[in-house]
Structure formats: structure tokens, C-alpha cells
């Protein structure tokens, strides 16, 4: 609980402040208890864009929506603060009573950072709470480091815990089995973060996905019934982000088109929303490949100023897709053609690709490369198949004794069958390196652009803001003022190709050049560490990861 002298330092010396202090001194119950939420630092990843941040002018691409949402569920009787370690070092000093942390990604660097921070704040006498995807899927990874563990969605259990805390009867574990009605989802506290620190605003419009991919943890945690947030609530959140200064928003649904009726109604409202603005807000999201079979949906996306879709493509090999129950991809005739259809509506396609399925052999790396280039998947995120706890894949691997519970010499917890582990890891690294060479990137970027050329692209007519102008100058100097002739050649090929194919897209080319600064470095150095074997001394690996994540 805050002490009066700490409170005094916080209040301004106005009459109102002095009166409030005197009032609080007489009525100690009025001193508000405080929650500090922390988003511990995530490790370097393709989408973290760590090396591009300086050139872009923001600090991290995405805000910590989980804790922002829970902050929205706290009554005004409490004081709330958010500190995001992805945008800068976390200040350790705090007068908070409760420290709530989100354990977001099941990787060793991040989980160790969560534990480190949790141990520190527990020593300071704070009540440490941990929730988030790691707590949902692998609670044992953090259990010993917190006072209160939260499993499942937090909208019901978190307020219940605060009530119990006030009554002095809180438990050490809360599990929310119920999947909430999204109309009850609190509005995230956008005011508690500094919006310009982020590349985009973030909103969840649905939870759940109707599909059945064997490796997917989303359907385990959020379910297969698509729960939709009321459209007026979504529009309100869009407005809040836009008012906070962010003109680009990521709809962080796992499948934005899981309920197409809802998606289309929302898109129609977004079109109306943008029509009322001088400069439209732009959007990107994640969606399944069946989007390509619905022209009305793609038209609405284009008209609502969507510029990109991330699609789980996973593999060009149909036998691997069937194995993993990715039915929507199996039933899409030619996947590359489907991607070209989406691009023809002026939408960039980013893709999730996976290697290491049982039907993959050593030829898969060449097949993946050829596919990504042909389809023009500009940002291809390739990962090794991993069995996430609680998923059907995890159970299958366990039953077939191919699961490595305490892996020590592999960057995945699965023993592959179509090749040796060594071949899998080497093939994976070479594929990622190769996809992010200058030549490969320029080839697929221009390939993609050639399918988009009939459309005006999002943002073409919007004048650059001062920060974007600085970002442009920084990016130009990175590519032009360098002794590295390959880098300069790459830049000129990207720009010349753009002016030849689709001159109006030049701002996008600059944006991709900016992101490529990260992709290239990530693919050449970080990926070696991310996919490094876990040594017997796990801390050693953790330290290397930390050094890279900066
Ligand atoms: C945005 C996002 C990112 C952003 C970063 C987000 C950030 N700032 O934290 C970026 C793009 C960088 C990213 C990258 C990656 N991501 Co990501 N990401 C997401 C995504 C799509 C949306 C997050 C979101 O908006 N959630 C909405 C909020 C409301 O949900 P929530 O955070 O789960 O919070 C709820 C509960 O968990 C709980 N809760 C959360 N925190 C806390 C804390 C307390 C105290 C309590 C009580 C409760 C609680 O209450 C909340 C309300 O119900 C999720 C998918 C998803 N559906 O969540 C994946 C997800 C989190 N990512 C995932 C993965 C695997 C990755 C990558 C590894 C992908 C890759 N292969 O490269 C990388 C690695 C990043 C890294 N460096 O480690 C997985 C994590 C699975 C796991 N357990 O490991 C998810 C779940 C997607 C998936 N199914 O695969 N990601
Ligand atoms: S389409 Fe995506 S979110 Fe849906 S089940 Fe498959 S992997 Fe999960």
C-alpha cells in the first residue's frame, strides 16, 4: 500500500492536491492500492523488427494487448501502471502492491526474463501474478516464481482475484475455463502506453478459429467457436488508437475471417469510419487462405484500407498439409495462385511456413524456397515444427515417443522421421538465410508487386508526416551512404523495379527496405542462436540470446 509521503511526492502542489492529501491522511482507506503490469522483454524474432526500429522511428512493432486489456478490467479504486520492457528498460522502483506479468512466448530467453523479474519483485514483498500464453500452455514453466498463477483468459479471474485480494482471501491459482463473451471484453487501456513507441495499434476483433490444425494452440486456449467483439466496440478502439496518433492498426485475431459474416460487417463499418476522416487509418491482420475464394471479402478489405494479410501457408507439400489437418490449404488447388489472387486486390501476403512435418524429407527446403519465391510471399516466416503442450500434435508425439521433454541438443522438441535432426536444423537455417539474401528478396518483392499493380496501394496519397520523413532519410542513408556495394545495388534494384512495375508503390518499397534491414540481419545471425541447440548449461544459450536481443 502506498505511504502518505510517497503520495505527497506524486501530487502537484495545487490547492486541490493539498486538500486531497489532507483528506487521504484522515481517511487512509482512500489511498488507492496499485497494480503494476509488466510486459517482460521478448527475444529477437522475425516480426520483432528489432534492427529496423531506429530507422522506423518507433521502439517496438506491437503493444502488450493482454495486460492493457486486463488494466481495462480494473475499477477506478485502483491505480494502474504499465511498463513494457520491449520499448525500454523496466524501472524497478515501484510503490505497487501487486505486480502482474504476461508470460507471452514459450521460449527460453523470454521465460527466463519473466522468472528473473518475478523473483526480484517477490523479494521486494510484492504479490507477483503471472498469466498469458505460457501460463496457459505450460504453467509449470513459471509456477514456482509467482504468488498467483492465472490460467486461461483473464477477464473473469483477474477482477475476482482483486476482490479476493482486498478481502485478504486470494488464492495462489485461478483458472478460467469459461471462454468469455467478447461483448464483455473490457476496452484496453490505450492511455497507459505511449502510443508513438509502437509501430501499430492493436485490436482483437475475434477469439477462436473454426479450423483444426494439429499443431495449433489457439484452438486449445480460445476454442473453435469464433467469438466476435461487437462492431461498435471495435470502432471505438480504432478511434482511440487513431486519436493517440497511430494511423496503422493490427487486428491481432488468429483468423480475422473465421466468421466471415462478422468480418464483412466490420469491414463495411471501417469503410464508413475511414470515409469520415481526412486521412484513412490502415489495417493488417491474420487470415486463412480461404479468403482467396471470396472476392467480396477481398474487395471490402481493399476498400477498408487493409494493406497486408499474414496467412498460415505452412507448406507447399499437400501430404504434409494433410498430415497436420490443414484442410483449408489442402482444399485450395494451387496455393501460389490463391496468393496471387489475394495480391491482385492490392494486399501484400506474408506467410507462415513450417518445416519438419513427418512427410518432409530433405527436398522440402528447395520446394519451400521455390514456392515462396514463385508465390511472392515477401515476408516469409519459416519455423521448425514444434509440439506446443496441450495440442493434439504434442499428444501424438508423446504417444509415438518422439517428444523430447527436456531437449538438450535440438531447437525443436520433436524427433523428425523424414530426415535426421541435423539435416533438419541445417536445412532450416540455410533456407532462412537464402530467403533473406538481397537477390531472393528483390525477386519476390517485385514478383508480388507485379500482381498488385492494378490497385492503388494503401497510403499512396497520404503526405509523409515529419517522423516518416526522418525515417525515409535514415533508410536512404543506410542503403546509399554505405561502402557495401551489394547493399547499394539491392536498393537501386528495388527502386528501379518499383518505378518500372508500379511507381505509386514507392512508399511501400521504402517500408520493405526498412524492414529488410532487420530481416537480413535476423536471417544471418539471430536465426543461428534462435535455432541453436540448448546446451547442458542452459544459461549460456540464454545469455547469448539476451546479447542479441540487446
Ligand atoms: C501480437 C503477437 C505477437 C507480437 C508481439 C506481441 C507483444 N507485444 O507481446 C509479435 C508480432 C512480435 C509476435 C511474435 C511472435 N509470436 Co506472437 N502473438 C501475437 C498474437 C497474434 C496476438 C497477441 C494479442 O493481441 N493477444 C490478445 C490478448 C488479449 O490475449 P493474451 O495476451 O493471451 O492475454 C489474455 C490471457 O492470456 C491473459 N493474460 C495475459 N497476460 C496476463 C497477465 C496476467 C497477470 C494475467 C492475470 C492474465 C494474463 O488475460 C488476457 C485476457 O484474456 C498472439 C496470438 C493470440 N491470440 O494471443 C501470438 C502469440 C502470443 N505468439 C506466438 C508466437 C509463437 C510468436 C512467435 C514465436 C512467432 C514466430 N514463430 O516467430 C514470435 C516470437 C516473438 C518473440 N520474440 O519471442 C504464440 C505464443 C505461443 C506460446 N505459448 O509460445 C501465440 C499465442 C500465437 C500462436 N498460437 O502461436 N507475436
Ligand atoms: S487456421 Fe491458424 S488459428 Fe486456425 S486452427 Fe489453423 S493454425 Fe490455428
CA distance 357 to 416: 7
Among 453, 275, 432, CA closest to 365 = 432
Q: Specify the ligand 2 atom closest to the Cα of 217.
A: 8
List, for residues 216-268, the tens digit of each pLDDT value: 999 999 999 999 999 999 999 999 999 999 999 999 999 999 999 999 999 99
- 329 CB under 6 A from ligand 2? no
Structural domains of the chain, ranges and CATH numbers in brackets: 4-17+27-175 (3.40.50.280)
Helix (H, G, I), strand (E, B) or coil at 451: helix
What does the block give as the cell for 441? 528478396
- 107 CB under 6 A from ligand 1? yes
Ligand 2 centroid, distance to 371 Cα (angstroms): 21
In this structure, the dihedral spanned by the alpha carbons of residues 316, 317, 319 and 325, taken in order and rounded to 10 degrees, is -20
Query: In this model, does residue 394 exceed pLDDT 80?
Result: yes
Helix (H, G, I), strand (E, B) or coil at 217: coil
Residue count of the chain, please give it.
550
Ligand 2 centroid, distance to 18 Cα (angstroms): 55
- 176 CB under 6 A from ligand 1? no
Residues 6+ apart with CB under 8 A from 9: none
Bridge partner list, 350: 310
Give the closest residue (by CA) to ligand 1 atom 64: 105
Q: Which pLDDT does position 406 carry in this prediction?
A: 59
Q: Which pLDDT does position 462 carry in this prediction?
A: 74
Q: Which pLDDT does position 225 carry in this prediction?
A: 96
Mean pLDDT of 263-282: 96
Q: Which pLDDT does position 301 carry in this prediction?
A: 98
C-alpha separations of 544 from 48, 50, 408, 520, 537 in Å:
17, 16, 16, 19, 12
Give the closest residue (by CA) to ligand 2 atom 8: 216
Percent of the chain past pLDDT 90, that is, above it, reads 82
Helix (H, G, I), strand (E, B) or coil at 435: helix
Neighbours of 108 (CB within 10 A): 16
Query: In this model, does residue 351 exceed pLDDT 60?
Result: yes
CA distance 466 to 311: 32
CA distance 289 to 300: 16
CA distance 103 to 155: 16
Find cell 488507492 and name the residue. 32
Helix (H, G, I), strand (E, B) or coil at 313: strand
Among 364, 304, 294, 352, CA closest to 326 = 352
Give the closest residue (by CA) to ligand 1 atom 62: 105
Bridge partner list, 529: none
Helix (H) or strand (E) holding 465: none
Query: In this model, does residue 409 exceed pLDDT 60?
Result: no
- 321 CB under 6 A from ligand 2? no
Bridge partner list, 289: none
Least confident of 16-20, 236-240, 399-403: 16-20
What does the block give as the cell for 163? 476482490
CA distance 212 to 232: 30
Ligand 1 centroid, distance to 95 Cα (angstroms): 28
- 254 CB under 6 A from ligand 2? yes
In our burial notation (b when 16+ CB lie closer than 10 A, e otherwise), range 286-308 reads bbbbbbbeeeebbebbbbbbbbb
Among 341, 347, 376, 499, CA closest to 447 = 376
Tell me the angle at which helices 538-549 and 108-123 cross, rounded to the nearest 10 degrees.
90
CB 303 within 8 A of CB 270: no
Structure-model confidence comparison of residues 152 and 545, the more confident one: 152
Show the 3-state SS of 88-156: CCCCCCCCCCEEEEECCCCCHHHHHHHHHHHHHHHHCCCEEEEECHHHHHCHHHCHHHCCEEEECCCCC
CB 193 within 8 A of CB 168: no
Among 77, 192, 202, 66, CA closest to 132 = 66
Find cell 525443436 and name the residue. 412
Strands, sheet with 148-151, edge to edge from the N-terminal-most edge strand: 79-84, 34-39, 98-102, 127-131, 148-151, 173-175
Q: Which pLDDT does position 528 carry in this prediction?
A: 67
How is residue 383 annotated by DSSP? E
Ligand 1 centroid, distance to 111 Cα (angstroms): 13
How is residue 30 annotated by DSSP? G
Average pLDDT, the chain: 90
Least confident of 71-80, 242-251, 369-378, 533-542: 533-542
Percent of the chain past pLDDT 70, that is, above it, reads 89
Among 338, 465, 548, 540, CA closest to 56 = 465
Mean pLDDT of 417-437: 94
- 155 CB under 6 A from ligand 1? yes
- 218 CB under 6 A from ligand 1? yes
Mean pLDDT of 65-75: 97
Ligand 1 centroid, distance to 450 Cα (angstroms): 33
Q: Taking the model in full, what pTM does it have?
A: 0.92
In this structure, the dihedral spanned by the alpha carbons of residues 327, 266, 299 and 307, taken in order and rounded to 10 degrees, is -80
Ligand 1 centroid, distance to 457 Cα (angstroms): 29
- 221 CB under 6 A from ligand 2? no
Q: Which pLDDT does position 28 carry in this prediction?
A: 45
Q: Which pLDDT does position 532 carry in this prediction?
A: 59
CA distance 501 to 359: 38
Least confident of 63-72, 248-257, 441-450, 535-544: 535-544
Give the closest residue (by CA) to ligand 2 atom 6: 213
List, for residues 497-521, the tens digit of each pLDDT value: 999 999 999 999 999 999 999 999 9
Query: In this model, does residue 26 exceed pLDDT 80?
Result: no
What's the pLDDT band for 344 if we cut at 50, 70, 90?
very high
What does the block give as the cell for 448? 508480388
Ligand 2 centroid, distance to 257 Cα (angstroms): 11
CA distance 202 to 246: 10
| Phi, psi (deg, nearest 5) at residue 102 | -100, 120
- 279 CB under 6 A from ligand 1? no
Whole-angstrom distance between the N-terminal and C-terminal Cα of the chain?
A: 34
- 209 CB under 6 A from ligand 2? yes
Closest-lying ligand to the alpha carbon of 328?
2
Q: Specify the ligand 1 atom closest to the Cα of 63.
A: 8
Ligand 2 centroid, distance to 97 Cα (angstroms): 38
Query: In this model, does residue 44 exceed pLDDT 90?
Result: no
Closest-lying ligand to the alpha carbon of 548?
1
Neighbours of 76 (CB within 10 A): 7
CB 430 within 8 A of CB 423: no
Ligand 2 centroid, distance to 211 Cα (angstroms): 6
Amino acid at each position: 500500500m502506498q505511504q502518505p509521503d510517497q503520495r505527497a511526492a506524486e501530487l502537484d502542489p495545487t490547492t486541490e492536491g493539498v486538500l486531497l492529501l489532507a483528506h487521504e491522511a484522515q481517511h487512509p482507506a482512500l489511498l488507492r492500492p496499485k497494480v503494476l503490469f509488466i510486459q517482460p522483454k521478448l527475444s529477437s524474432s522475425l516480426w520483432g523488427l528489432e534492427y529496423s526500429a531506429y530507422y522506423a522511428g518507433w521502439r517496438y512493432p506491437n503493444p502488450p494487448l493482454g495486460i492493457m486489456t486486463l488494466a481495462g478490467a480494473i475499477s477506478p479504486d485502483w491505480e494502474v501502471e504499465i511498463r513494457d520492457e520491449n520499448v525500454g528498460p523496466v524501472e524497478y522502483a515501484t510503490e505497487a502492491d501487486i505486480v502482474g506479468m504476461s508470460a507471452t512466448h514459450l521460449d527460453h530467453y523470454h521465460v527466463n526474463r519473466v522468472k528473473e523479474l518475478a523473483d526480484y519483485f517477490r523479494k521486494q514483498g510484492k504479490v507477483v501474478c503471472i498469466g498469458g500464453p505460457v501460463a496457459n500452455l505450460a504453467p509449470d514453466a513459471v509456477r514456482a516464481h509467482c504468488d498467483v498463477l492465472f490460467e486461461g483468459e483473464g477477464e473473469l479471474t483477474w477482477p475476482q482475484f482483486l476482490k479476493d485480494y482486498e478481502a485478504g482471501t486470494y488464492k495462489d491459482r485461478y483458472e478460467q475455463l469459461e471462454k468469455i463473451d467478447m461483448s464483455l471484453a473490457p476496452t484496453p487501456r490505450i492511455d497507459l502506453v505511449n502510443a508513438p513507441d509502437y509501430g501499430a495499434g492493436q485490436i482483437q476483433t475475434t477469439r477462436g478459429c473454426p479450423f483444426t490444425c494439429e499443431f495449433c494452440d489457439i484452438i486449445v486456449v480460445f476454442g473453435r467457436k469464433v467469438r466476435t467483439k461487437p462492431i461498435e466496440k471495435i470502432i471505438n478502439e480504432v478511434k482511440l488508437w487513431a486519436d493517440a496518433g497511430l494511423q496503422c492498426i493490427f487486428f491481432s485475431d488468429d483468423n480475422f475471417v473465421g466468421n466471415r459474416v462478422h468480418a464483412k460487417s466490420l469491414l463495411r463499418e471501417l469503410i464508413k469510419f475511414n470515409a469520415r476522416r481526412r486521412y484513412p487509418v490502415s489495417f493488417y491482420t491474420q487470415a486463412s487462405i480461404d479468403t482467396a475464394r471470396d472476392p467480396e471479402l477481398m474487395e471490402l478489405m481493399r476498400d477498408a484500407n487493409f494493406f497486408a494479410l499474414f496467412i498460415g501457408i505452412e507448406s507447399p507439400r499437400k501430404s504434409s498439409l494433410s498430415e497436420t489437418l490443414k484442410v483449408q490449404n489442402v482444399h485450395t488447388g494451387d496455393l501460389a495462385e490463391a496468393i496471387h489472387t489475394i495480391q491482385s486486390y492490392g494486399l501484400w501476403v506474408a506467410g507462415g511456413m513450417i518445416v519438419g512435418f513427418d512427410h518432409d524429407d530433405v527436398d522440402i527446403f528447395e520446394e519451400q524456397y521455390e514456392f515462396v519465391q514463385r508465390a511472392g510471399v515477401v515476408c516469409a516466416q519459416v519455423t521448425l515444427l514444434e509440439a506446443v503442450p496441450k495440442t493434439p500434435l504434442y499428444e501424438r508425439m508423446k504417444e509415438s515417443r518422439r517428444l523430447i521433454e527436456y531437449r538438450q541438443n535440438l531447437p525443436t522438441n520433436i524427433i523428425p522421421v523424414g530426415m535426421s535432426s541435423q539435416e533438419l536444423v541445417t536445412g532450416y537455417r540455410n533456407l532462412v538465410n537464402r530467403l533473406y539474401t538481397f537477390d531472393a528478396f528483390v525477386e519476390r518483392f517485385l514478383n508480388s508487386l507485379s500482381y498488385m499493380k492494378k490497385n492503388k496501394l494503401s497510403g499512396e496519397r497520404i503526405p509523409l508526416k515529419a517522423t516518416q520523413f526522418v525515417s525515409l532519410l535514415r533508410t536512404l542513408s543506410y542503403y546509399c551512404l554505405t561502402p557495401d556495394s551489394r547493399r547499394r545495388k539491392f536498393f537501386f534494384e528495388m527502386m528501379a523495379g518499383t518505378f518500372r512495375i508500379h511507381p505509386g508503390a514507392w512508399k511501400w518499397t521504402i517500408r520493405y527496405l526498412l524492414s529488410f534491414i532487420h530481416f537480413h540481419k535476423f536471417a544471418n545471425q539471430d536465426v543461428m542462436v534462435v535455432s541453436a541447440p540448448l546446451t547442458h548449461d542452459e544459461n549460456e544459450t540464454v545469455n547469448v540470446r539476451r546479447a542479441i536481443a540487446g
